[in-house]
Amino acid sequence: MIAEPRISVVIPVYNEESGIEELLARLTGVLDQLPGGPHEIVFADDGSRDRSFAMLEQAAARDPRIIVVALSRNFGHQAALSAALDYTSGDVIVPMDADLQDVPETIPRFLEEYRKGYDVVYAIRVRRKEGIVMRASYAAFYRIMSYLANIKVPINSGDFCLMSRRVVEELRHTPERHRYLRGLRTWVGFPQTGIEVERAERFAGQPQYTLRKLLQLAFDGIFAFSVTPLRAATVVGFSAMGLAMLVAVYALCVKIFGGDPPPGFTSVILMNIFLAGVQLLFLGIIGEYLGRIYEEIKRRPHYIVRQVVGRQVLAKPDPETHYDVSSHA
C-alpha cells in the first residue's frame, strides 16, 4: 500500500475528436488536485480516422504527463486498453472511456477505497443513461453472464475502475487473445470492492461500439469464462433422446394394439427440422470454441504500435519480465 500513489489513467480513443478537449480539461483538473505524482495519462489511439491523434499529440507536447500510444489500425476497445496498460508506470491504474461517460471526479473516491487496502476498486453503474432497449440488453447480458461464468463477475461493473500495480501486472501476463478485461480482473483475485457510480451521458460524438462490437464483447465474456454452453449440448441431446423414446413406445403400442397409425406427417417434419436446428446450434457453439482455440494458438500480438508520443523512456515493455518496483521508485 502506497500512501500517495502515482496514478496512471488509461484511455482508449477511437474517433473522439469532439470530446478530447473537454476530457483533458476535466481529467487534468482532477489529477492536479491529487497529492503525490507525477501522475500520467496514457492514451491508446485505436486507429482513429479523425483528428483525435493530432489533438492528443499536441496535448502531449504541452503536458509531460501525457503519453500517446498509437496503434497501426483499429484493434478494438479491449486491445487498445491492453496496449495502454502496457505503457503505464504508475502505482495504481485507472482505465476509463474517452467520452466522459466515466466521470473523472470518481478517481478520488477510488483512491479512498484503495487506501483501505483494496487492490481493485470498480465502479458499479447505477442509473445508466442509455436508452431503455440498451439498458435491458445490458441487464440481460450481465445476468446471463453471472449465471454461466465460473467466476463471479460483479453485475453492472464495466472497465472503469482502479487497479493496483500488481493486479495490472497479472493482467498483462495473461496471454489470451480474446480479452474480456473486466472478467480477467475478477479472475486475478486480490481484495476487490465496488463503489456505486453514476454513468454519465456521452459528452460528444457517436458511440464507437457498434452492435456488432458489443455482441463480440458479450461473446468474449461468455465463451472465455464458461464452458456451460458446451455442456448444454449434452443436456439437450439427452432430453431429445428421452423424448424420442417416449414417442417410440407410443408408436409401438399403437402398432401392437391395432388402431389406425396416427396421421403424423406434419409433426414428424417439425421434429426433424427442430432437431436439425438444435444440432446446428451446438455445432455453432463448438465452432465458437474451436475458433477461439485457433486464434489463441496463432499467438499473434494483441495489437501493433505505430508510434509512441510523450515520455521518452519506455521501449515497449517486455511482458515476459515482471514489473520491477525499484526501477520506478
Footprint of ligand UDP (CB under 6 A) = 12-14, 16, 46, 74, 76-77, 80, 97-99, 101, 202, 207-209
Residue whose grid cell is 396421421: 263
Evaluate whether 34 touches 7 at the Cβ level (below 8 Å).
Answer: yes
Cell of 323: 514489473
Which helix (H) or strand (E) segment holds residue 318: the answer is none
Task: Using the minimum distance from each CB to Mg ion, give the nearer residue, 165 or 199.
Answer: 199
- If the CB atoms of residues 91 and 97 are measured against Mg ion, the closer one turns out to be 97
- Which residue from 105, 107, 106, 103 is spatially nearest to 93, judged by alpha carbons? 107
Least distance between ligand UDP and beta carbon 80 (Å) = 4
Total binding residues for Mg ion by CB under 5 A? 3
Q: Which entry of ligand UDP, Mg ion, none binds 187, CB below 5 to 8 A by partner kind?
A: none
Contact between 15 and Mg ion per CB under 5 A: no
Return the percent helix, strand and coil in the chain, to nearest 5: 50, 15, 35
Helices (H), 149-227: 165-172, 181-188, 211-225
For ligand UDP, give the closer residue by CB, 192 or 208.
208
In Å, what is the CA distance from 166 to each residue of 1, 41, 95?
11, 19, 15
Q: Is 101 in the site for Mg ion (CB under 5 A)?
A: yes
Q: Which stretch binds Mg ion (CB under 5 A): 49-57, 91-99, 171-179, 278-286?
A: 91-99
Beta strands in 127-278 (DSSP E): 157-164, 192-198
DSSP annotation of 82 reads H
The least CB distance from residue 207 to Mg ion, in Å, is 6
Rounded least distance, CB 129 to ligand UDP, Å:
10
Which one, 23 or 41, has the nearer CB to Mg ion?
Answer: 23
Q: φ, ψ for residue 125 (rounded to 5)?
A: -80, 120
Stretch that binds Mg ion, among 44-52, 93-101, 263-271, 315-323 (CB under 5 A): 93-101
The pattern of x and - marking residues 235 through 274 that bind Mg ion according to CB under 5 A reads: ----------------------------------------
Closest CA to 77 of 288, 295, 302: 302
Helix (H, G, I), strand (E, B) or coil at 3: coil
What is the closest distance, in whole angstroms, from the C-beta atom of residue 212 to ligand UDP in the complex?
Answer: 11
Count, residues in the chain: 329
Residue 99 as a binder of Mg ion (CB under 5 A): the answer is yes
Least distance between ligand UDP and beta carbon 254 (Å): 57
CB of 46 to ligand UDP, least distance (A): 4
Cis preceding-peptide flag for 38 (omega within 30 of 0) = yes
Name which of 142 and 223 has its Cβ closer to Mg ion: 142
Measured from the CB atom, the residue of 140 and 290 that comes closer to ligand UDP is 140
Q: Tell me the CB-side half-sphere exposure of residue 299, using CA atoms within 13 A.
A: 2
Cα distance between the two ends of the chain: 14
Which partner, Mg ion, ligand UDP, none, binds residue 80 by CB below 5 to 8 Å per kind?
Answer: ligand UDP
Q: How far is the CB of 312 from Mg ion (least distance, A)?
A: 32
Given the rule CB under 5 A, which residues bind Mg ion? Answer: 97, 99, 101
